[in-house]
Structure 1
């Protein structure tokens, strides 16, 4: 398995948010490694407001974790 995440430490909150999105996307990619299935599912969830809100929740949880790891950039 490729090691792609070496740290949760980022320079800025904006970088931290980008990392939260990356964590979320990698979670989906690891859960569904078949790209054809993944792209077909994207057609369904991209038009479903409830599912998009759920994905935003996962990003927010990941951002909370990264924020704590960075001492809230104090």
Structure 2
């Protein structure tokens, strides 16, 4: 089973959770070594710029999910 069977979600909140998962999976796929990711975590966890960039990645992924789910369609 795929970790991403669909971009469709029931609610925007579920969509945001999916955006976070997509962002985390991108990091895991980019750096598959658990030990290296653990070592690097301290560097970005205490860096405001790194955290802001992580938020930007999540926001971009949420935009993708929201578009797939028509969350922004005006009624």
Whether TM exceeds 0.5 here: the answer is: yes
Q: Is 1:56 equivalent to 2:55 in the alignment?
A: yes
With over 3 angstroms needed to count, the CA separation of the structure-2 counterparts of 1:73 and 1:15, relative to structure 1, is farther
What is the root-mean-square deviation of aligned Cα atoms in Å?
A: 1.2
Q: 1:20 Cα deviation (Å)? A: 0.2
What residue number does 1:7 align with?
Answer: 6
TM-score with structure 2 setting the length: 0.93
Q: 1:3 Cα deviation (Å)? A: 2.0
Cα distance in structure 2, aligned partners of 1:72 and 1:13: 7
What residue number does 2:31 align with?
Answer: 32
Structure 1 ranges of 4+ moved more than 3 A: none
Cα distance in structure 2, aligned partners of 1:10 and 1:42: 29
**DSSP-derived class of the 1:8 partner:** coil
